[in-house]
Amino acid sequence: MIRKATEADIPSISALYDRIHDAEADGRITTGWLRGVYPTEATARASLAAGDLFVLEDGKRVVAAARINQEQVDVYAGVDWRYKAADDEVMVLHTLTVDPMKSGQGYGRRFLDFYEAYALAHGCPVLRIDTNARNARARAMYAKQGYLESGIVPTVFNGIPDVMLVCMEKRLG
Q: Could you read off the pLDDT of 93-140 as tens digits, one per residue?
A: 999 999 999 989 999 999 999 999 999 999 999 999 999 999 999 999
- 81 pLDDT band (50/70/90 cuts)? very high
In whole angstroms, give the CA distance from residue 32 to residue 113.
Answer: 24
In whole angstroms, give the CA distance from residue 37 to residue 58.
Answer: 28
| 155, β-bridge pairs | 163
Given the DSSP bridges, would you call strands 90-98 and 126-132 parallel, antiparallel or unpaired? parallel
- CB burial readout 48-57, b (16+ within 10 A) else e: beeebbbbbe
* 113 neighbors 148 (Cβ within 8 angstroms): no
Specify the pLDDT at position 49: 98
Query: pLDDT averaged over the chain?
Result: 97
Residue 71: is its pLDDT beyond 90?
A: yes
The model carries a pTM of 0.96
Q: Which helix (H) or strand (E) holds 42?
A: helix 41-50
SS3 83: coil
SS3 141: helix
Specify the pLDDT at position 173: 81
Specify the pLDDT at position 98: 97
Per-residue pLDDT tens over the stretch 17-54: 999 999 999 999 999 999 999 999 999 999 999 999 99
Mean pLDDT in residue range 77-90: 96
